[in-house]
Amino acid sequence: MPAWLLALIMSATPVEPPTRQVHTCLVDGARHYQSTPCQGLTERIREMPPPADTWANDIHIESLRQELQARRRAGAAPTRQKRPKRPRAPPASGVRGALITVHTDPVKCAAARRQRETAYKKAGQRPSLALSRQMDDRVHDACR
């Protein structure tokens, strides 16, 4: 028999790897799993099937992934179209804007604080919440 024919027959014949045994061992009250027999007490021995052909599984998983992507692309929402550009308004004549000062007037701020102190003294030990809020707002407006 030619060697190439023997090699072809051997490559076409599936070879099953042997099953693996997993031994559950009890050592000092703790379980340990190992492939060799235990030195002490063996609780149980399991026969594990050989690992699956990973090459065939990889091909199957890849084909499922491609099929899923094709379904997603087919059922995907249509792409958004860009909005038409708005016509720009002509520049306005004159200056627009607001001036917001960031500097406080120390005289007005001090006067508002003094006014708050006198209002609290007139109100007694416990000023009302409304009075407290009103005075705090005045101080905030003057000191910002």
Flag residues of the chain having pLDDT under 70.
1, 5-8, 10-20, 40-53, 76-80, 91-96, 98-103
Give the list of residues 6+ apart from residue 108 with CB closer than 8 angstroms, or none: 142, 143
Number of helices (H), then strands (E), belonging to the chain: the values are 4, 3
Query: 113 and 139 in contact (C-beta within 8 Å)?
Result: yes
Task: Give the residue extent of every domain in the chain.
Answer: 19-50, 106-143
pLDDT tens for 107-124 read 888 999 999 999 999 888
Give the list of residues 6+ apart from residue 25 with CB closer than 8 angstroms, or none: 31, 32, 33, 34, 38, 39, 40, 41, 42, 43
Beta-strand relationship, 20-27 and 41-48 = antiparallel
Place of tokens 């200056």: 95
pLDDT tens for 65-74 read 888 888 778 7
Does pTM surpass 0.75? no
Give the list of residues 6+ apart from residue 16 with CB closer than 8 angstroms, or none: 50
